[in-house]
Structure 1
Amino acid sequence: MQQTGRRTNEARSAATRAALIAAARALFVEKGYAETGTPEIVAAAQVTRGALYHHFADKADLFRAVVAAEAQAVAEAIDQATTHAASPRKALIEGTGTYFAAMTEPGRARLLLLDGPAVLGPHAMAELDRSTGGGTLRQGLSEAMRRVDPAELDALADCLSAAFDRAALAIAGGADPAAYCTAITRLIDAILRTSRP
């Protein structure tokens, strides 16, 4: 009987956390981080302030959870799309289109590319990127370019990631995704050509 009670409490706790993250995401997208207050978040989530502070240290901690969930969703979409790619190059190209599609989720570009770095700082965002989508990009480059120094590979992944992010912002602003997919494909092909012995 205790196991059932514990599972019920865990499920209730997980539901409360999910409600807070969903409510916070909606408000952060609508109003921005600075203009969103914790009273609004708890009201939208229909929980108490105590519940908020049980799960998160403060608003910044909740924002970090929102951003991490967004980054994880993008990484999972890329992993799913590239798992059965015929070659490392094909995986990089398919991952490009998937990344751009995933970033068209309303509010995602703002959360990950504008507010995230401003609120959490570039180092925290870089670490988050490396543990999710950026890690996928580095792994893809590593598989496609077997004889590259690890430090150079890290730098290359960072530079290419910045190009992806700039393109995602342009697409979120209404630019044609096909043009950016073509441009990134050209960059990838140029990188791979120069890495051949």
Structure 2
Amino acid sequence: MQQERPRRSNRERSQETREKLIEAARRLFVEKTYAETGTPEIVRAAGLTRGALYHHFEDKQALFRAVAEQEAADVAAEIELHGTTEDPLEALIEGGDAFLEAMGRSGRTRLLLLDGPAVLGRAAMDEIYDRHGNRTLRDGLAEATQAGTIRQVPLEPLTSLLAAAFDRAALAIEAGADADAYRLGLSALIRGLAAGEGKNVS
């Protein structure tokens, strides 16, 4: 006798619909760009209706925001997954390497670093980054500072400046630059923060 599958709740069905829309939108935004992708294509690719799309998202821009949020969350998760060292300074370097590896997923650099600011605005993307990748960087810097591993530098500006360096490296690598050279450069940048006598910044 065939066992009957448990019935999914409305919440589970709603979440599955949302995930399908985000997945289809991401694929099309990467293949065709945001500007060249229409909502009819997205719902067709997801196997859903326009009504389903507008039940979950106000418009295409809101759907793009959900895609960007998911991409940023995935990057942060991959950074946290790759942490293997107890040394706070080395953890920052590992985190930088993990960030560049995570940004290597097809289309991710363009979605987050080029299309994101163009579609949503710089301030909105900064909010997304602060919830995800910048949060992991800020936490790592705070831990290294508290451990006395790196010099005392105001945390928010330091996070912003290092995040910009990581983003620039991701864009350069996406454009064909030597990834190992950028990893070495970022490692040297982080090691330059190492605490030592007379190195505190007021």
User: Normalization by structure 1: what TM-score?
Assistant: 0.91
Whether contact under 8 Å (1:29, 1:107) holds in the other structure is yes
Alignment of 1:88 with 2:88, yes or no, is yes
Q: Per the alignment, do residues 196 and 88 of structure 1 end up closer, same or farther by CA in structure 2, a change over 3 Å counting?
A: farther
Q: Which residue of 2 aligns with 1:34?
A: 35
Alignment of 1:103 with 2:103, yes or no, is yes
Tell me how far 1:54 sits from its aligned partner. Answer: 0.6
The residue type equivalent to 1:47 in the other structure is L
Tell me how far 1:195 sits from its aligned partner. Answer: 4.0
Q: Which residue of 1 aligns with 2:50?
A: 49
Q: Which one is further off, 163-172 or 139-148?
A: 139-148
- What does residue range 111-130 of structure 1 map to in structure 2 within 5 Å? 111-130=111-130
- What does residue range 38-77 of structure 1 map to in structure 2 within 5 Å? 38-77=39-78
Alignment of 1:15 with 2:12, yes or no, is no
Whether contact under 8 Å (2:88, 2:144) holds in the other structure is yes
Alignment of 1:153 with 2:169, yes or no, is no
Alpha-carbon distance in structure 1 between the residues aligned to 2:57 and 2:162: 33
Structure 2, unmatched stretches of 5+, are 1-5
The residue type equivalent to 2:187 in the other structure is T
Alpha-carbon distance in structure 2 between the residues aligned to 1:104 and 1:34: 23
The residue type equivalent to 2:155 in the other structure is L
Q: Per the alignment, do residues 98 and 192 of structure 1 end up closer, same or farther by CA in structure 2, a change over 3 Å counting?
A: same
- Which of these two proteins has the greater Rg computed from alpha carbons? 2
Alpha-carbon distance in structure 2 between the residues aligned to 1:186 and 1:128: 27
Q: Which residue of 2 aligns with 1:141?
A: 141
Alpha-carbon distance in structure 1 between the residues aligned to 2:68 and 2:201: 37
- What does residue range 171-190 of structure 1 map to in structure 2 within 5 Å? 171-190=173-192
Q: How many residues align?
A: 190
Structure 1, unmatched stretches of 5+, are none
Alpha-carbon distance in structure 1 between the residues aligned to 2:89 and 2:109: 25
Whether contact under 8 Å (1:75, 1:132) holds in the other structure is yes
Alpha-carbon distance in structure 1 between the residues aligned to 2:133 and 2:82: 13
SS in 2 for 1:191: coil
Whether contact under 8 Å (1:100, 1:168) holds in the other structure is yes
Alpha-carbon distance in structure 2 between the residues aligned to 1:117 and 1:50: 28
Alpha-carbon distance in structure 2 between the residues aligned to 1:135 and 1:91: 14
Whether contact under 8 Å (1:145, 1:192) holds in the other structure is no
SS in 2 for 1:192: coil
The residue type equivalent to 1:159 in the other structure is L
Alpha-carbon distance in structure 1 between the residues aligned to 2:155 and 2:200: 11
Identity over aligned residues, as a percent?
Answer: 54
Whether contact under 8 Å (2:134, 2:159) holds in the other structure is yes
User: Normalization by structure 2: what TM-score?
Assistant: 0.89
Whether contact under 8 Å (2:152, 2:201) holds in the other structure is no
SS in 1 for 2:9: helix
The residue type equivalent to 2:106 in the other structure is P
